[in-house]
Amino acid sequence: NKAVCKLSVSLKQFVVHDALPTVYYIPDFISEDEESYLLQQVYRSPKTKWTQLSGRRLQNWGGLPHPKGMVAEKIPDWLQTYCEKVSSLGAFNGQTANHVLVNEYKQGEGIMPHEDGPLYHPTVTTISLGSHTLLDFYAPVSCLEGDAPQTEENRYLFSLLVKPRSLLILQDEMYQQLLHGIQARAQDTLTDKVANLSAAGGEPGKTLIRDTRVSLTIRHVPKVIKAKLILGRK
């Protein structure tokens, strides 16, 4: 775990230099028309496709990732297009994304700091629709030394501003070693803790009011199995 802790410290320094090694932020990755189209498709999906969680709801497309392998389900064309578009950037080492999570956050909602786990290729790509948000990054609990209480505040490292229509790509240590989350807030005040402030066109001190944000988290699940094989699982 020591290497992880060192890494967090060095990432802290990168914040100041506005240059994180494995973060790519692409503003206006999609057009306003594409954004409206995607939102329309998300809200046109059957009600049963939504899972309500505390503080957000989500749609899962492509199958449920499982340690024994994901039974792949066809991704609808309106999402498949973007799986291919993102994959063609080389985000998944030549593989094509086969899994999409659609998260919806109403104003004031968020997601607790977490790791995405080992079932995915260590790259996460996110298209934001409808609103900006701040994605916050945290050091793992094991990295705090001495008597410092392991509060969220003490583990907080920096944030990334994601604007609507942007694509965010996180790879390697950014993805594997740090926790990420979104504070349940109705508005965000930009500070120098926002590592991509200039790339995202933000101004320090400015307050951005959140609206409903829908995010498309596009990933590659390497381990896929045929439906037949699952019969033996239970």
User: Angle of helix 77-87 relative to helix 32-44, nearest 10 degrees?
Assistant: 130
Question: Of 116 and 211, which CB lies nearer to ligand AKG in the complex structure?
Answer: 116
Nearest to residue 221, comparing CAs of 104, 102, 96? 96
Angle at 108 between CA 182 and CA 207, to 5 degrees: 80
Contact residue for ligand AKG among 217, 218, 220, 221 (CB under 6 A): 217
Question: Binding to ligand AKG by residue 59, rule CB under 6 A?
Answer: no
State the minimum distance, in angstroms, from the CB of residue 212 to Fe ion. 19
Residues of this chain, 145-204, that bind ligand AKG according to CB under 6 A: 180
Closest chain position to Fe ion (CB): 116
State the minimum distance, in angstroms, from the CB of residue 137 to ligand AKG. 11
Contact residue for Fe ion among 34, 73, 116, 211 (CB under 5 A): 116
Contact residue for ligand AKG among 8, 59, 98, 103 (CB under 6 A): 103
Q: What is the total count of residues that contact ligand AKG (CB under 6 A)?
A: 9
| Binding partner of 101, given Fe ion, ligand AKG, none, CB within 5-8 angstroms per partner class | ligand AKG
Question: Of 35 and 136, which CB lies nearer to Fe ion in the complex structure?
Answer: 136
Question: Of 87 and 213, which CB lies nearer to ligand AKG in the complex structure?
Answer: 213
Closest chain position to ligand AKG (CB): 215
Contact window for Fe ion (CB under 5 A) among 66-74, 82-90, 110-118, 142-150: 110-118
d(CA 20, CA 22): 6
Token pair listed for 48: 């049963």
220: left (phi over 0), alpha (psi -120 to 50) or beta: beta
Question: Of 71 and 178, which CB lies nearer to ligand AKG in the complex structure?
Answer: 178
Contact residue for ligand AKG among 116, 119, 156, 185 (CB under 6 A): 116
Nearest to residue 219, comparing CAs of 21, 36, 72, 113? 72
Question: Binding to Fe ion by residue 34, rule CB under 5 A?
Answer: no
For binding to Fe ion (CB under 5 A), which residues are involved?
A: 116
Which parts of this chain interact with ligand AKG (CB under 6 A)?
Answer: 101, 103, 111, 116, 126, 135, 180, 215, 217
